């Protein structure tokens, strides 16, 4: 094992999870810790967990292993930070977090683990990923039915859609809402039908633009986006990740278009739409060729 020693006055820690737990305890020490870390609460650092998760996804999309390593560390820090705050309040510890997820994973993998936590005898496990996914959904639904809702706010706790976090990005939540509804049979059987629904919603946006109010247009655009998220689910595509990739592609191509215009002695401010479209087409052709 290596050792962690970023400065002369910092003790060496063996490179295990204990190193991070010890480090966080030192940062939160009321007498000798960092004033900023001491002042934080679950609520104040919650946005960082979302931000770090997105940076992990970005590193994966860029296939940057070194950056992925660093971003996973940042995300792990958020888990340890929240666990430390909870431990100080007497709610739970990091060990409780680990225990809960280990128990959940064992419970949701009966094709791998026996009820006592040991391995299932060879030859008795499911080998079909689709069958495993269906089994996972059944087990998760049973778990959900056996506990009170944890979804705060005005939502009816008895709703079959309860428990899908409202803090999720809207596209991700749309996919999860439609997936939950699908478990009750409220779904299309053919992706082509979802494509037809997307076209129908596009027509309704156009109609609202011609005849409705701004609020009508906003509502129809929402319906269109929900249908697109539903289509992504039917195609086995994560809509949030797909849009993230689309954003990156646009950013890359727009930057390359700008560089092409600059090389030709034209700035974005001076270029006409026709000139920009021509450069954009050349960028796309260069990428594909």
Summarised one tens digit per residue, pLDDT across range 225-243 is 999 999 999 999 999 889 9
Highest-confidence range of 79-88, 130-139, 149-158, 258-267, by mean pLDDT? Answer: 79-88
Nearest to 265 by CA among 274, 273, 275: 275
- Average pLDDT, rounded, for the chain: 87
Beta strands 3-4; 13-14: pairing state: antiparallel
> Can you say whether the dihedral through the CA atoms of 29, 32, 33, 34 is positive or negative?
positive
The CA–CA distances, whole Å, from 237 to 174, 175, 251 equal 13, 10, 21
pLDDT of 13 > 80? The answer is no
HEC string of the chain?
Answer: CCEECCCCCCCCEECCHHHHHHHHHHHCCCCCCCHHHHHCCHHHHHHHHHHHHHHHHHHHHCCCHHHHHHHHHHHHHHHHHHHHHHHHCCCCCHHHHHHHHHHHHHHCCCCCECCCCCECCCCCCCCCHHHHHHHHHHHHHHHHHCCCCCCCCCCCCCCCCCCCCCCCCHHHHHHHHHHHHHCCCCCCCCHHHHHHHHHHHHHHHHHHHHHCCHHHHHHHHHHHHHHHHHHHHHCCCCHHHHHHHHHHHHHHHHHHHHHHHHHCCCCCCCCCHHHHHHHHHHHHHHHHC
**Does 75 or 113 have the greater pLDDT score?**
75
Band of pLDDT at residue 197, cut at 50, 70 and 90:
very high
- Residue 178 is assigned to a structural domain of this protein: no
Q: Look at the chain and report how many structural domains it folds into.
A: 2
Q: How many CB atoms lie within 10 A of CB 14?
A: 11
Q: For position 207, what pLDDT does the model report?
A: 97
Q: For position 2, what pLDDT does the model report?
A: 40
pLDDT of 18 > 60? The answer is yes
Q: Which of 74, 107, 140 marks a domain boundary?
A: 107
**Does 75 or 57 have the greater pLDDT score?**
75
Minimum mean pLDDT among 115-129, 173-187, 191-205: which range?
Answer: 115-129
- Residue 26 is assigned to a structural domain of this protein: yes
- Residue 228 is assigned to a structural domain of this protein: no
pLDDT of 194 > 80? The answer is yes
State what percent of residues in the chain have pLDDT above 90. 61
pLDDT of 144 > 50? The answer is yes
Range of the domain at 262: 241-288
Band of pLDDT at residue 149, cut at 50, 70 and 90:
low
- Residue 86 is assigned to a structural domain of this protein: yes
- Residue 181 is assigned to a structural domain of this protein: no
Q: Which of 107, 133, 163 marks a domain boundary?
A: 107
- Residue 85 is assigned to a structural domain of this protein: yes
pLDDT of 141 > 70? The answer is yes
**Does 98 or 137 have the greater pLDDT score?**
98
Band of pLDDT at residue 112, cut at 50, 70 and 90:
confident
Minimum mean pLDDT among 155-159, 178-182, 197-201, 250-254: which range?
Answer: 155-159
Q: For position 50, what pLDDT does the model report?
A: 86
Q: Which of 51, 77, 107 marks a domain boundary?
A: 107
Q: For position 153, what pLDDT does the model report?
A: 46
pLDDT of 154 > 50? The answer is no
Q: For position 148, what pLDDT does the model report?
A: 62
Nearest to 94 by CA among 104, 84, 102, 103: 84
pLDDT of 113 > 60? The answer is yes
Band of pLDDT at residue 119, cut at 50, 70 and 90:
low
- Residue 232 is assigned to a structural domain of this protein: no
State what percent of residues in the chain have pLDDT above 70. 87
- Residue 227 is assigned to a structural domain of this protein: no
CATH of the domain at 88: 1.10.287.1080
| Cα(32)–Cα(11) distance, integer angstroms | 14
Give the bridge partners for 13, in sequence order. 4
pLDDT of 5 > 60? The answer is no
Q: For position 12, what pLDDT does the model report?
A: 60
Q: For position 195, what pLDDT does the model report?
A: 96
Q: For position 135, what pLDDT does the model report?
A: 83
pLDDT of 1 > 50? The answer is no
């Amino acid at each position: 094992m290596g050792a962690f020693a970023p400065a002369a006055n910092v003790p060496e820690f063996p490179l295990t999870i204990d190193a991070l737990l010890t480090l966080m305890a030192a940062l939160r020490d009321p007498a000798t810790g960092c004033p900023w870390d001491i002042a934080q609460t679950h609520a104040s650092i919650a946005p960082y967990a979302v931000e770090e998760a997105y940076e992990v996804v970005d590193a994966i999309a860029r296939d940057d292993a070194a950056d992925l390593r660093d971003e996973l560390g940042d995300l792990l820090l958020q888990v340890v930070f929240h666990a430390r705050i909870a431990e100080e309040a007497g709610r739970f510890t990091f060990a409780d977090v680990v225990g809960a997820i280990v128990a959940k994973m064992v419970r949701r993998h009966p094709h791998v683990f026996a009820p006592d936590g040991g391995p299932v005898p060879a030859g008795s496990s499911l080998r079909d990923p689709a069958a495993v996914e269906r089994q996972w959904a059944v087990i998760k639904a049973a778990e959900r039915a056996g506990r009170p809702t944890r979804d705060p706010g005005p939502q009816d706790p008895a709703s079959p859609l309860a428990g899908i976090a409202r803090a999720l990005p809207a596209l991700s939540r749309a996919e999860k809402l439609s997936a939950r509804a699908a478990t009750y049979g409220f779904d299309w059987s053919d992706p082509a039908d979802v494509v037809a629904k997307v076209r129908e919603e596009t027509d309704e946006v156009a109609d609202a633009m011609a005849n409705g109010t701004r609020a009508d247009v906003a509502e129809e655009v929402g319906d269109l986006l929900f249908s697109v998220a539903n289509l992504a689910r039917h195609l086995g595509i994560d809509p949030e990740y797909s849009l993230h990739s689309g954003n990156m592609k646009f950013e890359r191509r727009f930057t390359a278009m700008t560089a092409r215009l600059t090389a030709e002695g034209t700035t974005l401010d001076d270029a006409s739409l026709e000139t920009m479209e021509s450069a954009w087409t050349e960028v796309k052709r260069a990428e594909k060729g």
